[in-house]
Amino acid sequence: MKPSPKGRLSFFSFFFFKNMLRSVAELNHNFKSRIMTSHNVLTHQPHRTVTEPHFFILSKGKNAGKPLKESCPNCFLITVKTEEETENLYWIAYTLWKANFWHQYQYGSVIPFIRIGTFKSCFRDEVIKAYKKHQKHLDFVNRIRKLEELQHHYSKTIEQIENLKWALLQNQLR
């Protein structure tokens, strides 16, 4: 006995429905990624006033790609909506810079630089990768912050030791 055409349609509709659900899930995932990475990258202009949380990325020189808390000539401005997102993006940028990620995208033989279009697309892709592993990224950020604080503490201690040595040397010469 031959199955009815109506039965075949329902058999194939199962696969169609399954593929449709998969594509909706991918769209939903992409939508969430866009929401989580709502940052704006601009060329920094000193006369521009910025009210949103922000940080800077050096765009020229051997340290191109280095995140900065304060502006300098030749840098990009990254604005976000919250301070938490500023910290997250700052540490992603710091990781990329320390890993020499931006060296492959530098142009110029005398003074290397990163083009803003290249920076925008690559940075967005790396942010999305980091946010896919959000908890791991947060743990990483906390560990890096602690190491930065420890480094700052030790550099202050070294500075105080240098001052003490200088004072002892000055005292010895009197």
Average pLDDT, the chain: 82
Instruction: Record the pTM.
Output: 0.67
Q: Say which residue the tokens 């004072």 belong to.
A: 167
Please, which contacts does 55-63 make with residues 24 or more away whose CB atoms are closer than 8 Å?
A: 55/86, 55/89, 55/90, 55/93, 57/93, 57/119, 59/113, 59/114, 59/116, 59/119, 60/111, 60/112, 60/113, 60/114, 61/111, 61/112, 61/113, 62/112, 63/97
Local confidence band at 33 (pLDDT 50, 70, 90 cut-offs): very low
Q: Give the C-alpha separation, 67 to 98, whole Å.
A: 10
Q: Quick check: 60 and 29 in contact, CB under 8 A?
A: no
The pLDDT score that the predictor gives to residue 84 is: 87
Q: Using one digit for the tens of pLDDT, what is the confidence trace for 37-51?
A: 688 888 888 888 888
pLDDT at 26: 54
153 pLDDT higher than 90: yes
Cα–Cα–Cα angle for 134, 140, 144, rounded to 5 degrees: 145
Residues 117-147: pLDDT tens digits? 999 999 999 998 888 888 888 888 889 889 9
- For 146, phi then psi, to 5°, come to -60, -40
- Could you tell me what percent of the chain has a pLDDT over 70? 79
Q: What is the pLDDT of residues 49-62, one digit of tens each?
A: 888 899 999 999 99
Check residues 11 and 84 and name the one with the higher pLDDT.
Answer: 84
Name the band, by pLDDT with cuts 50, 70 and 90, for residue 30.
very low
Average pLDDT over residues 29-33: 44
pLDDT reading at 71 higher than 80: yes
Distances (CA, A) of 28 to 16, 50, 80, 124, 174: 18, 32, 22, 18, 75
Residue 34 has a pLDDT of 42
